[in-house]
Amino acid sequence: MNDTQDLPEAARRFIDDMAAAGAPARVDGPRILYDVTPVNGVFAGKTVATGVSLIEVQSWPAVPPHWIHLPENVHFEQTNIDSTDCAAGFVRHSRDYSYTDASISPARAWLSHVRGFVSIAVAGDA
């Protein structure tokens, strides 16, 4: 599924919102991929590929995703991982998140959350 016309409205909105927030997103099978650039940590200033499962954005923006897809060589001291819906070479990390700061858009808040998570990575090459 590479055509956004075939996506549910909430998934199309997630993609549009991410683009408006400066992180163009693309459909890749059962996931949506986009890039972030953390400002701190081992990946500071580097582009890191990331994503979410399509199924997790079916209620966007009312319900944000829970899992963050990252390359499998991005490591953390503590995280829960699995590979559901992940692209080859990726795993997804369980991260609790709720959109509570209505002063910024849901997509910008989500991107801040993901950049913040990647900023605490302890090793790896993106």
Q: Is the pLDDT of residue 125 over 80?
A: no
pLDDT at 3: 60
User: What average pLDDT score do residues 85-107 get?
Assistant: 93
Sign of CA dihedral 17, 113, 25, 10: negative
- State the pLDDT confidence band at 101, using cuts at 50, 70 and 90: confident
Q: Tell me the whole-structure pTM to 2 decimals.
A: 0.92
**Residue ranges per domain, the chain?**
4-118
Could you tell me the two tokens for 79? 């995280």
Secondary structure (DSSP) of 10-61: HHHHHHHHHHHTT---EEETTEEEEEE--SSSTTTTS-EEEEEEGGGGTTTT
Q: Is the pLDDT of residue 4 over 90?
A: no
Q: Is the pLDDT of residue 5 over 80?
A: no
pLDDT at 102: 87
- State the pLDDT confidence band at 1, using cuts at 50, 70 and 90: very low
pLDDT digits (tens, 9 = 90+) for 62-74: 999 999 999 999 9
User: What average pLDDT score do residues 38-59 get?
Assistant: 96
